[in-house]
Amino acid sequence: MAEHILKNSFIAIKVSDHGAELKSLVKADSGKEFMWQADAKYWGRTAPVLFPIVGSVWNGEYKVNGVSYKLSQHGFARDMDFSLIKEAEDELVFELKDNEESLKKFPFKFSLKIGYKLVGSKVTVSYTVSNPDDKEMYFSIGAHPAFNCDINKDELLFEKDGAAVSGSLKSNVIDMSCGCLSDKQIDVETAEGIVKLTPGLFDGDALIFEDRQADAVTLVSAADGDKLRVTCDVPLFGVWSPVKKNAPFVCIEPWNGRCDRVGFEGGIENREYGNKLAAGESFDTSFEIEIL
């Protein structure tokens, strides 16, 4: 399992072939590490890609043309080795293609390219999903980056169109017994866009914000004032830290897709926030992580 490094005078990143996963983001002048380092005591991953589903499918199964297939939470791409297809001074691009094993779980041919590009103190993470087959393809894709923080003191600033979100954000609630969306919703109160982190904030598991309620979320360190901003143009995103573990990290997760609702029994083409690709077409999405 190889790891690849990109760096400039502002930041340095490290990316693994396994899952094409971002493993490190370091600020050059201070040497500060911003990425969670995958301590399995809390959570053994750093920034996995979620493909070909985001979250869980109801009862662990989904249907394609009436045939049932099994998929575990967040799909399989995060646990597969990618090929490095481009390596430049400021850019890395990895690719994963369907194989015999993936077709047993996800009956579609695909190409998934994940790119990392440095521009100043910013890294752009891009996803390109292509359909090389002669039939339509259905999928979801999302990111799950985890950032070091003080879960008892740090803050999150939610912004929309460059302005702080006022009032409150509406968050959907996961049923932890099955990992699917319940009918419950909670209001997450903000003060000029700021939500103070507390372990209890995630007692109901991930906070899921739909309907493009924010397009940038900034993690603000209480200790040194450092800011890390995740900017994304996606239908929904999640914010998560492990339930009742007082874990020293928080995930800010741009999603093009979402788990099933409790009791959902439709086909893959009916999944909420799912994506469809015609034969020969591609889907592009990206997000930015910036040290401010």
Whether the full predicted model's pTM is greater than 0.85, yes or no, is yes
Q: What is the mean pLDDT of residues 180-199?
A: 94
> Is the per-residue pLDDT at 1 higher than 80?
no
Do the Cβ atoms of 121 and 292 come closer than 8 Å? yes
Two tokens, residue 215: 């397009």
Secondary structure (DSSP) of 226-252: -EEEEEE--SEEEEE--TTS--SEEEE
Two tokens, residue 209: 């914000």
Q: Mind listing the pLDDT tens digit for each residue in 224-233?
A: 999 999 999 9
Predicted pLDDT at 204: 85
CA nearest neighbour of 228 among 15, 51, 54, 13:
13
Q: Mind listing the pLDDT tens digit for each residue in 211-225?
A: 999 999 999 999 999
Two tokens, residue 106: 């996800």
Domains in the chain with CATH codes: 3-291 (2.70.98.10)
Q: Please report which helix (H) or strand (E) contains residue 102, including its range.
A: helix 100-105
Two tokens, residue 292: 């401010």
